[in-house]
Amino acid sequence: MSGTIPDLLRAPIPAFSFEFFPPKSDAAEDQLWEAVRRVEQVRPAFVSVTYGAGGSTQDRTVRITERISQETQLVALGHLTCVNASVADLRAVIGQYAAAGVHDILALRGDPPGGDLQAAWHAHPDGLVYAEELVALITELGDFTVGVAAFPDVHPESPTAAHDIDVLVRKADAGASFAVTQMVFDADTYLRLRDAVAARRDLPITPGLMPVTNYRQIARMAELMGTPLPEAVIARVQPLADDGPALRAEGVAIATELGERMLAEGAPGLHFITMNRSTATLEVLRNLTGQEPGDLLEGFAAPSSSLGPVSAPRPTHRCPDGTLRQVTGGWRFCPWCGAAFGCSAHRSAPPAGAGGAVTTDERA
């Protein structure tokens, strides 16, 4: 078993990942790198940077993704959309990703340019219409691992949930080997989609999770995405809209509850949407992994003068068969041999029947 993203998503322990967006200024980019640096310390399965519609934003996405791949220990998942792109343009970006060592690509159709997500989407005259075609293009071009988007609350342009499931099956048949969902606020919608797809294809689907830290921002995002916040969530966060600390605490609590439920029901991991500030998501992660409060504080306390990502040594672990593995993700057990990790953050017993080597892993 190798350590590809789908492998990590099939491992018996949750694979956590983090999503950033391309910053618009140098100052915002400093903030992004600080967040990346914090996240690097918790050894996620992968991180990704969203892909905008404009040329300069796209360049930033590709440049930052390349830098994450080359200068950190993180696995970088490159987002790519069909928006405003001919097939030749898409081939060029795929080539750029490959040259930078980015072999994991999230193949997306993309949203209509201009910020109006309700606007009609038009393909480039020499481009692609559906993400499914981009999946096929990427897989045809080389040895890539391709992920796709999934929509537990039904994509705004889809007529039915059943249609969305058919689309995911088509994307799997075109070569996608995992999916990541739009942000989830109702665990049941995720579980329904996950189970319906599982009945037809072996496609791990990781739920997207974003703690509410700014009520108006998230309500607007949810509305634009066509997936309004559930009443139960609104009832908890709307009254706190003007009380930043209380809202943040409630947002972290809600995300923790959702994450707990979905992981307990067998979600392969969680994909945290960070808005380039990692602290709330790291707090959720800390709540979920049961680590002692101190275990992640080092991550929270990254120096504000940080200019770029650090390259912490990736922890290694020797399985009983003698193979040296690089360990990543929020793991309490080795996904290959099942050994429990020996540091204070990994106290639980290995799964039944697992091998027993004590490891050198020290995921913070």
Sign (positive or negative) of CA dihedral 26, 30, 31, 33: positive
Q: Does the annotation mark 19 as catalytic?
A: yes
Q: Between 141 and 240, whose beta carbon lies closer to ligand FAD?
A: 141
Contact with ligand FAD (CB under 6 A) among 69, 72, 182, 279: 182
- Tell me: does residue 177 bind ligand FAD (CB under 6 A): no
Q: Between 47 and 108, whose beta carbon lies closer to ligand FAD?
A: 108
Instruction: Candidates 108-116, 212-220, 258-266, 344-352: pick the segment binding ligand FAD (CB under 6 A).
Output: 108-116
Contact 91, 85 (CB under 8 A): no
Q: Between 223 and 243, whose beta carbon lies closer to ligand FAD?
A: 223
Give the amino acid at 92.
A
Contact with ligand FAD (CB under 6 A) among 43, 60, 155, 363: 155
- Tokens describing residue 108: 């997306």
**Residue 119: enclosing H or E segment and its boundaries?**
none
DSSP 286-340: HHHHT--HHHHHHHHT--TT--S---PPPPEEE-TTS-EEE--SS-SB-TTT-PB
Question: Which single residue is written with the structure tokens 């020290």?
Answer: 362
Q: How far is the CB of 293 from ligand FAD (least distance, A)?
A: 30
Q: How far is the CB of 331 from ligand FAD (least distance, A)?
A: 22
Residue from 12, 8, 100 nearest 45 by CA: 8
- Tell me: does residue 194 bind ligand FAD (CB under 6 A): no
The catalytic position among 19, 29, 66, 133 is: 19
- Tell me: does residue 7 bind ligand FAD (CB under 6 A): no
- Tell me: does residue 158 bind ligand FAD (CB under 6 A): yes
Q: Between 194 and 286, whose beta carbon lies closer to ligand FAD?
A: 194
Contact with ligand FAD (CB under 6 A) among 93, 180, 222, 267: 180
Q: Between 258 and 334, whose beta carbon lies closer to ligand FAD?
A: 258
Residue from 102, 108, 35, 95 nearest 67 by CA: 102
- Tell me: does residue 203 bind ligand FAD (CB under 6 A): no
- Tell me: does residue 214 bind ligand FAD (CB under 6 A): no
Instruction: Candidates 97-105, 178-186, 191-199, 348-356: pick the segment binding ligand FAD (CB under 6 A).
Output: 178-186
State the CB neighbour count (10 A cutoff) for residue 243: 12
Residue 228 makes CB contacts below 8 A (sequence gap 6+) with 222
Query: Residue 167 and residue 39: Cα distance in Å, rounded?
Result: 32
Site string for ligand FAD, 47-86 (x = CB under 6 A): ---xx---------------------------x-x-----
How far are the Cα atoms of 203, 269, 327 from residue 105, in angstroms, in the given order?
Answer: 15, 18, 21
Alpha carbon of residue 141 to chain centroid: 24
Interface contacts to ligand FAD, rule CB under 6 A? 50-51, 79, 81, 108-111, 130-132, 149, 155, 157-158, 163-164, 167, 170, 180-182, 208
